[in-house]
Amino acid sequence: MADENEQQSACEAGRDEQHCKCRQRRAAAEAAAANASAAQQPAAHHCTCKHDGAAEAGEGEAHHCKCKHGDAEESGDEQPKHCACKHDAEGHAISTEPHLGYVADLASLIEIQPESTVSRVVMREDGLRVVLFGFDKDQALSEHTAAMPVTIQVLEGKLRVGGEGREVELVPGGVVYLSARLPHTVYAVEPSKMLLSMFDNRG
Residue 163 belongs to a domain with what CATH number?
2.60.120.10
Q: Positive or negative CA dihedral for 130, 54, 93, 141?
A: positive
Amino acid type, 84: A
Burial of 35 (0-12, 13-18, 19+ CB in 10 A): exposed
Per residue in 187-198, pLDDT tens? Answer: 999 999 999 999
Q: Is position 25 within any domain?
A: no
Question: Phi/psi of residue 175, each to 5°?
Answer: -145, 140
How many angstroms from the chain centroid is the CA of residue 15?
Answer: 59
How sure is the predictor about 71, in pLDDT bands with cuts at 50, 70 and 90? very low
Q: Is position 36 within any domain?
A: no
Domain that holds residue 172: 106-199
Question: Phi/psi of residue 27, each to 5°?
Answer: -65, -40
Per residue in 126-152, pLDDT tens? Answer: 889 999 999 999 999 999 999 999 999
How large is the average pLDDT for residues 156-175?
98
Q: Domain count for the chain, please give it.
A: 1
The angle formed by the CA atoms of residues 134, 127 and 154, to the nearest 5 degrees, is: 25
How large is the average pLDDT for residues 89-116?
85
Q: Is position 20 within any domain?
A: no
Q: pTM for the whole thing?
A: 0.57
